[in-house]
Each structure stands twice: as structure tokens, then as C-alpha cells.
Copies of this chain bind each other. A is one copy, B any other.
């Protein structure tokens, strides 16, 4: 699906991004992340390096309580086993009832009708943020009207790709940070979704939270790629960059259009 280009795009200042990063570091929000088996460990380490606290239980007896008491909820569909299919609606309902921000990452819905149907059903919980790429968006929405309907009710879309776009009922953000080597590490996108969710716990303007979170994660990837000899050393360097990122790092690198 091709996206209409907004007439104008919202600007983003380095100081704004850094101030939200500092809020995360000070608040140390707990993010309950229901994510895929491959991404769990890396996602937990990304959240900890950022200054947030991960929790990840899936047990149906516990998950609603963990989600309702967390500062935000991330739901990633990369693994769709029975435990997760049972846990996800319980967690989303509990988070919604408790007024917690919710991010949804419908991984690979373009490759599996099962996931796609499951993801479409989850839209009834009106997630604050949906993070996906264009093929996934095309699979989930038959036409642009479906996207617009959700946006009209307040959902924000973070559409990742060569250029990242944050689409909302207001002006869109267009973001240009990141590094190709990040795609050579498993679960970077999934972990990035957890970062966006963490920023949603400290910033009520979901589109702004998503723009700040995505920029911080992609700038960390750029900083890491400069130090790394390949995708292996990229991982520890990315975590170190998230942990140590300064206002100067953001000022030197933030790229929007």
C-alpha cells in the first residue's frame, strides 16, 4: 500500500528527544513485554540499557496482573504459540482497563494468514501504537480506509523502512536515522518496538513518544556500527550506546525531514 505523503511534517528537536530519554532514565518504567522467543533476551537487555525494567511472564494466571501494574505493555506477535495466544488478549484487556499505553508489533502478518487474522482481532483493544513495515501494513488493511479509521480514533502508526514514518491524526514525523548492519542482527526491530513502548510511558503524545524512541534506538545503532567490526560486535556496542547516550550524541546525529 503506498502511503500518502502528509502536506507537512512535524519537526523534532534533539533537546526534545534527550529530555524524554532522561525521563525514562529517571522513572525506570516497568515495561511488560510479550515478545517472541528469539527476541526475549535481547529485548530485556535493550530495556535495561535504556533505563527501563522488563517483565515478560506469559502465564495466564499472572499476565493480566503484570500488564495492569506495568507502566506500558508491548505485544509482539513473532512467536504465536498457544500460551501467547491465550496471554495476549488477557494482557491487552488488563492494560487498557488500567489506562496503560499499549504498543502492538504484528511481526510477519504478511507471511501467515493465522497471524494476520489474530492481529486484526487485537485491533479491537485500540492499541495506542502499531509498529510495522509496509508489507505488514498491506496484509493487515485491505485499503487505506482501515488505517485512516484507526488513526481517527487515536492509534498511531510507526511504519519502518528505508525511511521511518510516524503517522497520526496530527502531522507526521519522518525519521532517517539507522544503519544497515542493524538488519543483520536478529530481533533489532522487535527490541526497537520495546524502546518505543518505554517512551510511551513517559510521554502522552504517542506520536512524539514514538518519534523520540525510534530516533534514540536508531542513533544507538549508528553509534554502534561505527565501533563494530560486524553484526556480532554491533550488539554489545548498541547496548553500551543506549546506556551512555548524551544530548551531544543526539544533536550530532538526529536526522528528520
Which residues of A does B touch, CB under 8 Å?
A: 37-42, 44-45, 48-49, 54-59, 61-62, 65-66, 79-83, 108, 111-112, 114-115, 183-187, 228-233, 235-244
Contacting residue for A243 out of B40, B59, B62, B231, CB 8 A = B231
CB distance from A90 to the nearest CB of B (A): 14
- Do residues A66 and B112 form an inter-chain contact, with CB atoms below 8 A? yes
Give 5 CB contacts A-B under 8 Å.
Answer: A39-B41, A61-B114, A81-B83, A228-B240, A232-B238
- Do residues A233 and B236 form an inter-chain contact, with CB atoms below 8 A? yes
- Do residues A186 and B112 form an inter-chain contact, with CB atoms below 8 A? no
Closest 4 pairs (CB-CB, A-B): A232-B239, A230-B240, A232-B236, A44-B186
- Do residues B62 and A80 form an inter-chain contact, with CB atoms below 8 A? yes
- Do residues B49 and A232 form an inter-chain contact, with CB atoms below 8 A? yes
**In the complex, what residue of chain B is closest to A245 when comparing beta carbons?**
B230
Contacting residue for A56 out of B38, B41, B55, CB 8 A = B38
Residues in B with CB closer than 8 Å to A229 are: 237, 240, 244
How many copies the complex holds: the figure is 3
- Do residues B81 and A59 form an inter-chain contact, with CB atoms below 8 A? yes
| CA of A66 to CA of B112, assembled, Å | 8
CB distance from A184 to the nearest CB of B (A): 5
Q: A66-B112, A112-B66, A114-B59 are in contact. Are A45 and B80 (CB under 8 A)?
A: no
- Do residues A45 and B186 form an inter-chain contact, with CB atoms below 8 A? yes
- Do residues B41 and A57 form an inter-chain contact, with CB atoms below 8 A? no
- Do residues A112 and B240 form an inter-chain contact, with CB atoms below 8 A? no
- Do residues A232 and B243 form an inter-chain contact, with CB atoms below 8 A? yes
User: 4 more A-B contacts (CB under 8 A) besides A66-B112, A232-B238?
Assistant: A41-B186, A58-B81, A62-B112, A65-B112
| CA of A221 to CA of B50, assembled, Å | 20
CB distance from A29 to the nearest CB of B (A): 15
CB distance from A94 to the nearest CB of B (A): 14
